[in-house]
Structure 1
Amino acid sequence: MPENWKTYNLGNLIEHQKGFAFKSKWYQNSGAIIVRVSDTTDNSIDISTCNKIDIDLASSYERFKIQFNDIVIATVGSWPPNYASVVGKVIKVPQEADGSLLNQNAVRLRTKNPEKFDQKFIYYLMKSKTFLKYIVHSAQGSANQASIKLTDIFNFSFSLPNISEQKSIASILSALDDKIELNLQMNKTLEEMAMALYKHWFVDFGPFQDGEFVDSELGEIPKGWEVKQLEDIIKFSNGYAFKSKQLLKEEEPDTFHIFKMGHIQKGGGLKADGTKSWIKKRDCKGLDKFILRTGDILMSMTDMKDNMTILGHTALMNENNKFIVNQRVGLLRVANNCGIDYPYVFLLTNSSDFIQRLRSQANSGVQVNLSTNAIKSAKVVVPNKEVNVKFNNITLPYYESINQNALENQTLTKLRDTLLPKLISGEVRVKDAEKTLSEVL
């Protein structure tokens, strides 16, 4: 530790406010936003999943409001706690969640003296493995639930540089986060453009309205198009049933990441940092067909009936030979002579009409499952080859850019996670980190 750094307890630097137990019967479609722990992502808040309450009612709970750049930490999670559990999760409130109300099982933290203690530096301090390790070991449990006391959070001890260096450190780490966020926003825009084009062409038939239409079992479609089964345009296989004793909890050399349903986002899309399990490559002999490559499409075959968010939805793999697919995830690979490539299949399998039809074929129970036959026999509209080729020519560059941005984010995230503990401990100084940053950005 540098000589001029001073040691503090977290409780000396911040003031706090616990969340409130808002009643579910208050929830409605519009009004003030309620942020639950389940609405948080790895670093932020997903506003699209938040519930709302009446604005007039919300006015009685002003003290539970959170602000842009506030720090929120989850105080309850599953037992036993580990480095992937919810308890101890730290997020920074984004601009779009400014003024929201914080629900129970979380606490809001805010620096007492911004002129002496930088809010962003405190956030990065709490994102460090040192703090996470401290929280995991401080957690207490009963039954299947883990919790952390506020006193344990406040007793976390660390060393701190002066405010100028705090701001410089936070600026370096923020620059990496800002670039990551920019790439995410670019990808979101490209994904929205691709889906909008898919709907315009293949749902509304916009470019084909002047042509002749014919009846089909899926409604009227342009003449020359066909209704086929999904297996006519893709090759389908179930993921492999790995034995739990084979799986590793930490990454080692010469291992594959296990692709599970936790890697599929709500509503579709790839969550590359989802469920974390690994397996040694030497234990995967003869399983080449399960090793994923760019353009592979992965479908969730199981979900919970009361909270169905991913059943039938798919993720698009963006790199080769890193993941191997687990059971209850379907692997779809494009295979046809119709000119269809992976963008069409990916967009199709995340379209509302397809999802609705597919889910109607699922079994009923607490856990809802899709059978291999239900997936393979799902009805789809297959345009003529000329249309498919034109669609590919437009959308393939979108996904090439999306993949490039996603891979760049992996590099930036790795750099940020490497620099973070070294910067906040003084092992790496600002000047050296700035030089590294200038070479990357």
Structure 2
Amino acid sequence: MSEWQLLKLGELITLNYGKALKAEHRKPGNVPVYSSAGLTGTHDTFQVNSEGIIVGRKGTVGKVYYSAEPFCCIDTAYYITPQPEKYNFQFLYYMLQTLGLEELNEDSAVPGLNRETAYNQQVALPPLPEQKAIASVLSSLDDKIDLLHRQNKTLEAMAETLFRQWFIEEAKEDWVQGKVEDIFVLQRGYDLPSSKRIKGDYPLYAASGLNDNINAYQVEYPTVITGRSGSIGGVYISLEKSWPLNTTLFIKEFKLGTLIFSYFYLKYLDLESFNSGSAVPSLNRNHVHGLEIQLPPEKLVNEYEEIAQDWMLKVKANKHQIQTLEQLRDTLLPKLMSGEVRVQYQTEEVA
């Protein structure tokens, strides 16, 4: 590692301040707008006419995001632009994630990252060809992860489109009248304080969705989960054993409904309109159960499930692959950045 340079971050990069751009001042467009929390909307014109790295300055301190296109950066974040003579931009994006910037908060009221404090962080910088090789390894993993995520969106969209066609657009007037409770029965989730959670292989669901993976489960069959308290309207499908928290409702019994049919039926319902909380959004399962609906024929529901389950099983397999790739990337990242793991590269010839 004798060819690696030790230097201060401020010798390598410039953290530029973002500019104020309130949501009410943004105009319809396709230009991404970033805050300290990441992508936060769009606008019709850009502030930065290049790719860029965004670093949280106020609120969500030290989080690092990447924009491959011209973008806007609001005043809760810094942004960095390419300097190819100094660093490989993808390498810099990964390196910044290993510096612990999120731990450099210097404001007691609102979390804040001081620019000079960030500049004083020491970094180890390999030669440009090695930077490029390291970035190539990590970006190839991220590209595969992104591809699997996009494939899952496509597969789920196919299943949802078929659901809407068969059960909404082509619903028959002579279908039997019933209630949602004739399709499935919802139950409140289970409490589990964060202090008692141990990392494992089983998904833990909160009202806002997948929260963690732990070593225990309460529901041993595939089910559908939705927010009960704090955040309502989101619907999530678990194709394996899981632990729905007490801020959720989950389907404990399928009647006419099947797993995938019930998932898209809950998504179709306007669950936010059932909000029964004044200060904190909350969902009363009895209000959902009592909703009067037309019940589709069981044969049609089963036929739909048979078609859609192949798509959703592929989604499940993709999710497991995504988890494996993310673990590999997260394991490799600090080792590549410290030089503990090296990659082969060719020295670029100067013409």
Partner residue of 2:73? 102
**Is residue 2:21 matched to residue 1:71?**
no
Moved more, 417-426 or 229-238: 229-238
Give the one of 160, 178, 189 matched to 1:228. Answer: 178
Runs of 4 or more off by more than 6 Å in structure 1?
A: none
- 1:3-32 deviation per Cα after TM superposition (whole angstroms, max 9, x unaligned): 22111222222233211111343234x136
Residues 66 and 19 of structure 1: CA distance in aligned 2, closer, same or farther (over 3 Å): farther
Partner amino acid, structure 2, of 1:299? T
- 1:280-320 deviation per Cα after TM superposition (whole angstroms, max 9, x unaligned): 75xxxxxx7x3354x311101134xxxxxx52321111333
SS in 2 for 1:141: coil
What's the CA shift for 1:39? 6.1
RMSD across aligned C-alpha pairs, in angstroms?
Answer: 2.6
Contact 2:36/2:63 (8 A) holds in 1? no
- 1:258-278 deviation per Cα after TM superposition (whole angstroms, max 9, x unaligned): 42123x2xxxxxxx4x4x585
Residues 163 and 193 of structure 1: CA distance in aligned 2, closer, same or farther (over 3 Å): same
What's the CA shift for 1:109? 1.2
Partner residue of 2:309? 396
- Give the percent of matched residue pairs that are identical in Structure 1 and Structure 2: 26
Give the one of 246, 254, 257 matched to 1:327. Answer: 246
Q: Structure 2 unaligned runs (5+)?
A: 346-351
**Is residue 2:32 matched to residue 1:31?**
no
What's the CA shift for 1:403? 0.7
Partner amino acid, structure 2, of 1:31? G
TM normalised by structure 1 equals: 0.72
Partner amino acid, structure 2, of 1:106? A
Q: How many residues align?
A: 345
Give the one of 162, 178, 197 matched to 1:197. Answer: 162
- 1:129-155 deviation per Cα after TM superposition (whole angstroms, max 9, x unaligned): xx12x540x211233x21111112222
The correspondence of residues 130-145 of structure 1 with structure 2, limited to 5 A, is 131-132=99-100, 134-136=101-103, 138-143=104-109, 145=110
Residues 135 and 299 of structure 1: CA distance in aligned 2, closer, same or farther (over 3 Å): closer
- 1:385-413 deviation per Cα after TM superposition (whole angstroms, max 9, x unaligned): 22112211221111001111111000000
Q: Structure 1 unaligned runs (5+)?
A: 78-85, 206-220, 265-271, 282-287, 304-309, 433-441
Partner residue of 2:117? 152
Greater share of residues in helix: 1
Contact 1:66/1:102 (8 A) holds in 2? no
The correspondence of residues 280-291 of structure 1 with structure 2, limited to 5 A, is 290-291=218-219
The correspondence of residues 17-416 of structure 1 with structure 2, limited to 5 A, is 17-28=16-27, 30-31=28-29, 33=31, 35-37=33-35, 40=38, 45=39, 50-52=41-43, 55=44, 58=45, 64-65=47-48, 67-68=50-51, 70-77=52-59, 86-94=60-68, 98-112=69-83, 114-128=84-98, 131-132=99-100, 134-136=101-103, 138-143=104-109, 145-205=110-170, 221-243=171-193, 246-248=195-197, 251-252=198-199, 258-262=204-208, 264=209, 272=210, 274=211, 276=212, 290-291=218-219, 293=221, 295-303=222-230, 311-320=232-241, 323-336=242-255, 338=256, 340-351=257-268, 354-355=269-270, 358-416=271-329
Tell me, in whole angstroms, the C-alpha distance in 1 between the residues paired with 2:169 and 2:308.
Answer: 18
Tell me, in whole angstroms, the C-alpha distance in 2 between the residues paired with 1:191 and 1:155.
Answer: 46
